[in-house]
Amino acid sequence: MAPPDPSLPHTRNRLLAALSPEDLSRLWPRLEPVELGLREILQEPEKPITAVYFPETSWASMLAYMEDGDAAEVGLIGREGMVGLPVLLGGDSDDLEAMVQCAGTALRMDAAAFREAVETIPALRTLLLRYALAHHGQVARTAACNGRHHTDQRLARWLLMAHDRAEGDEFPMTHEFLSMMLGVRRAGVTVTAIALQKAELICYGRGRIEITDRPGLEAASCECYGVARRAYDSLIGPPPGATRPYWR
């Protein structure tokens, strides 16, 4: 495969990279490179969405909050997607919060400029609507998985999703935050994480988790991970030059 042309815009975001060089060049001046910090809030419930984000090395959780203050993750967005789908679909706000789960880089775009780009670049609109469908599938599959599958399968699924979006095999994560992601008590997450570590699938400590056996973790997961991954690849296409059976 030939190296990318340095004279053309280059991005690690899979959605933007799927655009033609001409369409990406039209969009490029409106995209602002930003560094996103851990736990940074990109979108607040019921508040106007002023910008959309295309993660490159960062990833974010979409959180649904309850009246008692508890929250549960309903979606995960990394370099395969964008934060700010309500703007694409004609909305100005959402009832979900977008929190940065792993610090890193992203491309930020003002919401007004994004709306204009979607209207003037047809290929961008078509691509993002397909992504919206893929993300909807992820959210729906997460709900079904949380309701039907055991905690060990759900934790394996979530770790695989995180691994796909991380820069390497290790990323920050605490048991407290994992319990919120999975909607289970912290004690249950601890027991399950210990079991995965004893099986030498992961190694964790000091607020970080390392994936040590990716194939073993895939075997420990339920079918939901593979279903969502294949749906995305069917709608958007696999990563350019991909030779491994997962997103990296």
146: which 2 tokens?
């949380």
For 12-121+128-149, which CATH class?
A: mainly beta
Cα 204 to Cα 177: distance, rounded to the nearest angstrom: 14
pLDDT of residue 245: 43
pLDDT of residue 58: 96
Cα 177 to Cα 173: distance, rounded to the nearest angstrom: 7
pLDDT of residue 218: 94
150-221: CATH topology = Arc Repressor Mutant, subunit A (1.10.10)
Instruction: For residue 103, count other CB atoms closer than 10 A to its CB.
Output: 16
Q: Give domain limits for the chain.
A: 12-121+128-149, 150-221
pLDDT of residue 236: 87
Helix residue spans in 4-100 (DSSP H): 14-17, 21-27, 85-88
Cα 209 to Cα 172: distance, rounded to the nearest angstrom: 6
pLDDT of residue 240: 58
pLDDT of residue 40: 97
Instruction: For residue 143, count other CB atoms closer than 10 A to its CB.
Output: 12
Cα 60 to Cα 43: distance, rounded to the nearest angstrom: 10
Whether 12-121+128-149 shares its CATH topology with 150-221 is answered no
Strand order in the sheet with 208-211: 170-172, 208-211, 202-205
Name the 3-class secondary structure at 201.
coil
pLDDT (tens digit, 0 to 9) for every residue of the chain, 248 residues total?
A: 444 555 667 899 999 999 999 999 999 999 999 999 999 999 999 999 999 999 999 999 999 998 888 888 889 999 999 999 999 999 999 999 999 999 999 999 999 999 999 999 999 999 999 999 999 999 999 888 888 888 889 989 999 999 999 988 998 888 777 877 777 777 777 888 889 999 999 998 878 899 999 999 999 999 999 898 888 988 887 765 554 444 44
